Amino acid sequence: MREIRQIAALLLVSLCLAGCGEMIDRLEDVVEGRKHRANTETDSSRLAEQSEETFPGSTASQQESAPARFDEAAFETLAERFKAAHEARDVEAIRALAYAGSPPIDDSYFDMTRGDFGSPIKRIYFKEAGARDNEPTDRDGVPYKPVLPVVGHIVIEFAPGGGPEYVIAGQRVHRTSTSYPIGYKDGTYYICYRVPAQ
């Protein structure tokens, strides 16, 4: 009788161990499946991010003339030319950095630029376009749009205390930076301005 009980107990333990082993195998399969799905989702996300690394604020049709990625060399060229023109106080050289649209850029666009002359530049950097940079604006009932799709901004940051000085509420303050919207065409970044929408 005792031997029968021992045999029954051994069979029960064996069945439990076999069941646990099967459960462990199933758990491992589930974990591996989740890892595979996670890796697949991560790879898909990376591919999506790579394919969507375009400039915000412009539609797919507008991005036809924009680079798929930030063109560092082209931006450095724009920044160097802007800095040289700024230091030479040459408005015409800065005007030459704007895209030649129709009608041509108005001289009043550079009033702020003239006010910046004499302010030492600390650095010039690229800032991505905002969500509304390419939306039309209204002037006296006439819609205006950028002469090129805006892909970003060239930001001119002045040295501390060296920016253009203004008096606001009796206090002297210095503007810390100036920025211009820029577009991209044929491998070149241009300063953008707005023209009447066709």
One pLDDT digit (tens) per residue for the chain, 198 residues: 555 554 444 444 344 444 444 443 443 443 344 433 333 333 333 333 333 333 333 444 444 455 668 999 999 999 999 999 999 999 999 999 999 887 888 888 888 899 889 899 999 999 999 989 999 999 888 999 999 999 999 999 998 877 777 676 777 777 789 999 999 999 999 999 998 887
Strands of 92-176, DSSP E: 121-128, 137-139, 142-146, 152-158, 165-168, 171-174
Q: What are phi and psi of 136, to 5 degrees?
A: -65, 150
Distance CA 52, CA 1 (A): 76
pTM (predicted TM-score): 0.63
Strand pairing report for 165-168 and 152-158 = unpaired
Count of CA atoms in the C-beta half-sphere (13 A) of 13 = 6
DSSP 158: E
